[in-house]
């Protein structure tokens, strides 16, 4: 097994190119519970050991400690010796750091573990932080980490015009196949920010064909409902269930792998021709979130071949097979979603209204999926301009 060194690992091991970016400087740290080195030491301690003075902490969605559930605002704690500023509060304005929070900082260090899907909000917190830092002249040091799904495969077209949101601030594929540093270079290009303004501590030993199991790194939950690498594998599809009235398995021990609803007929799912995956009919009772305390009928998604499995297409086909059982008004999530109230959650997740329209009209998904594949292929070509790892 190959041993990959993350950007944080390079700091921990005294790499001179990494150390010079933080030693002797006042730094703020944007991080979360998974911001640890391969020996599970937290990033703040490693930066202090490297000679940095960590004078401010910044937490993304779920908080710096990673304890808050999805879409739960986290407060700022600025009364401690080292203030902890929340970049996920109750309003969209809370998603960016206030310029005054950056006063006195020589640099902001970003060390966040992404999971390789555009819905996962950490990359967009990093992007918003970078924009504010660039505006006020504060250096940004980004410690790169692996994309758990690897960097070779892309799935799902970028969002259509009018469907950018905090589950996709910039137009990228659903499964984008980029590391967080590569995503930030994409943002730099979109915002006409000089890439040299972003100081990247790249990884050693990572290649684009690697999945998480190939890295030799420990899996640490980056958020409360991302307990295992198996969860990350299904997430580019499993998160779509959030846009419906069905339970995506929050409140169980296998979120996004388990999904369903009270009284759902799973028969149509068991006859689908799917690839790299098997479905098992199950019953489960979420302890919180949708259908809390109710017995749900559904399936567990068992991935048998992660290389063949296409999570986005698979979940689209599964949802299309069972949602027609429900009345139109009982299919789709209608509550505000990630600070957006004028567009449906499912449309924000899929990047447009096409999937919802196809389901509600009883139309085949084939044309929509063909368009998705063409959009993904175009993005696949374009993303090579931001690659930091060629093979």
Q: What are the sequence ranges of the domains in the chain?
A: 7-223+381-386, 229-375
Q: Is the pLDDT at 124 greater than 70, yes or no?
A: yes
> How much is the pLDDT for 177?
98
Read off the tokens for 135: 């505006």
Q: Is the pLDDT at 81 greater than 90, yes or no?
A: no
Could you give the percent of the chain with pLDDT greater than 70?
Answer: 96
Identify whether the C-beta of residue 382 lies closer than 8 Å to the C-beta of residue 183: no
Read off the tokens for 203: 């990884």
> How much is the pLDDT for 66?
65
Read off the tokens for 193: 């920010």
Q: Is the pLDDT at 1 greater than 60, yes or no?
A: no
Alpha-carbon torsion 113, 116, 122, 125, what sign?
positive
pTM: 0.95
- Using DSSP's 3-state secondary structure scheme, residue 24 falls into coil
Read off the tokens for 146: 């692996």
> How much is the pLDDT for 180?
98
Cα–Cα distances (Å) from 284 to 13, 296, 314, in that order, read: 45, 5, 21
Span 217-253, pLDDT tens digits = 999 999 999 999 999 999 999 999 999 999 999 999 9
Q: Where are the alpha helices (DSSP H) in 289-362?
A: 311-322, 345-350, 354-361
Mean pLDDT of the chain: 95
> Is 7-223+381-386 in CATH node 3.40.50.12170?
yes
Q: Is the pLDDT at 76 greater than 70, yes or no?
A: no
| Spatial distance between the Cα atoms of 298 and 182, rounded to a whole number of angstroms | 37
What value does the mean pLDDT take over residues 307-326? 97
| Spatial distance between the Cα atoms of 337 and 67, rounded to a whole number of angstroms | 20
Residues recorded for the chain = 391
CB atoms within 10 A of CB 7: 28
Span 137-162, pLDDT tens digits = 999 999 999 999 999 999 999 999 99
> Is 229-375 in CATH node 3.90.1150.140?
yes
Q: Is the pLDDT at 75 greater than 90, yes or no?
A: no
- Using DSSP's 3-state secondary structure scheme, residue 140 falls into strand
| Spatial distance between the Cα atoms of 356 and 354, rounded to a whole number of angstroms | 6
What value does the mean pLDDT take over residues 189-196? 94
Kindly give, in sequence order, each residue whose CB lies less than 8 Å from that of residue 180, ignoring residues fewer than 6 positions away: 110, 112, 114, 122, 123, 126, 142, 144, 145
Read off the tokens for 2: 């190959």
What value does the mean pLDDT take over residues 379-390? 96
63-72, 203-212, 320-329: least confidently modelled range: 63-72
> How much is the pLDDT for 70?
60
> How much is the pLDDT for 3?
86
Q: Is the pLDDT at 77 greater than 80, yes or no?
A: no
| Spatial distance between the Cα atoms of 64 and 51, rounded to a whole number of angstroms | 22
Read off the tokens for 165: 């949101």
Give 28's strand partners: 56, 108
> How much is the pLDDT for 391?
80
Does 229-375 match 7-223+381-386 at the fold level? no
């Amino acid at each position: 097994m190959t041993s990959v060194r993350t950007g944080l690992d390079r700091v921990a091991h005294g790499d001179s190119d990494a150390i010079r970016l933080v030693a002797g400087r006042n730094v703020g740290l944007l991080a979360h519970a998974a911001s640890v080195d391969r020996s599970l030491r937290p990033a703040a301690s490693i930066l202090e050991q490297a000679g940095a003075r960590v004078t401010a902490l910044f937490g993304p969605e779920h908080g710096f400690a990673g304890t808050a559930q999805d879409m739960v605002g986290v407060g700022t704690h600025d009364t401690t010796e080292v203030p902890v500023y929340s970049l996920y509060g109750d309003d969209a304005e809370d998603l960016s750091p206030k310029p005054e929070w950056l006063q006195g900082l020589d640099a902001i260090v970003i060390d966040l573990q992404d999971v390789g899907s555009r819905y996962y909000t950490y990359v967009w917190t990093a992007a918003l932080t970078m924009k504010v830092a660039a505006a006020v002249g504060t250096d940004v040091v980004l410690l790169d980490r692996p994309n758990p799904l690897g960097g070779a495969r892309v799935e799902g077209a970028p969002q259509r015009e009018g469907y950018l949101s905090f589950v996709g601030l910039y137009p990228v594929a659903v499964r984008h196949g980029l590391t967080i540093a590569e995503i930030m270079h994409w943002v730099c290009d979109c915002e006409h920010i000089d890439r040299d303004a972003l100081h990247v501590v790249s990884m050693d030993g990572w290649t684009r064909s690697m999945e998480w199991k190939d890295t030799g790194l420990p899996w640490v939950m980056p958020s409360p409902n991302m307990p295992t690498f198996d969860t990350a594998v299904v997430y580019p599809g499993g998160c779509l269930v959030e846009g419906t009235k069905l339970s995506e398995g929050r409140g169980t021990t296998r979120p996004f792998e388990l999904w369903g609803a009270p009284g759902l007929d799973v028969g149509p799912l068991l006859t689908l021709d799917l690839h790299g995956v098997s479905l098992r009919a199950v019953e489960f009772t979420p302890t919180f979130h949708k259908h809390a305390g109710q017995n749900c009928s559904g399936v567990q998604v068992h991935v048998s071949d992660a290389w063949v499995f296409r999570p986005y297409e698979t979940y689209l086909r599964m949802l299309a097979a069972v949602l027609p059982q429900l009345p139109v008004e009982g299919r789709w999530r209608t509550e505000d979603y990630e600070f957006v109230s004028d567009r449906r959650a499912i449309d924000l997740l899929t990047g447009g209204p096409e999937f919802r329209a196809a389901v509600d009209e009883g139309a085949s998904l084939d044309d929509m999926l063909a368009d998705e594949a063409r959009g993904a292929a175009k993005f696949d070509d374009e993303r090579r301009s931001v690659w930091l790892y060629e093979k």
